[in-house]
Amino acid sequence: MKVALFTAVLLSSIGLAHAASADKGQALVEKANCASCHGAGLTAPILPTYPKLAGQHADYLFYALRAYQVGNSNAQFGRNNAVMSSQVQAFSESDLRDIAAYIASLPGTLVIKK
């Protein structure tokens, strides 16, 4: 019982309790038009300095998106980028997990999937 409770608290604190929905993430990504910079399928960026996203690990994507939200308010964790900070401000943490799940599900060349 204690172990189950502890596990539940631990999982919710690291966010695994929320089952991310790639479908919801797709709707959010399309509405925000992330492809206008990251390109078709989020794998053909419009400028060489913009990153490819498709297929990247969901954990990595979630932390990157959160880091843009946090920005300079946490110098240890935040990513200070004016373009991406403005893109992510409106999203809840659970939205970001959904977005990450969707992007991770897309075919891409960034990571080798087991």
Give the residue, chosen from 20, 54, 65, 104, that forms a contact with ligand HEC under the rule CB under 6 A: 65
8 Å CB contact between 35 and 43: no
Query: Per CB under 6 A, does 81 bind ligand HEC?
Result: yes
User: Which residue type, as a one-letter code, is found at position 94?
Assistant: S
> Smallest gap, in angstroms, from Cβ of residue 108 to ligand HEC?
11
Those residues whose C-beta lies under 8 Å from the C-beta of residue 19, and which sit 6 or more positions away, are none
Q: Which is nearer to ligand HEC, 5 or 48 (CB)?
A: 48
Q: Is 64 in the site for ligand HEC (CB under 6 A)?
A: yes
Distances (CA, A) of 74 to 19, 62, 66: 27, 16, 11
Nearer to ligand HEC, 6 or 93 (CB): 93
How far, in Å, CA of 61 to CA of 54, rounded?
10
Least distance (Å) between residue 53 CB and ligand HEC? 5
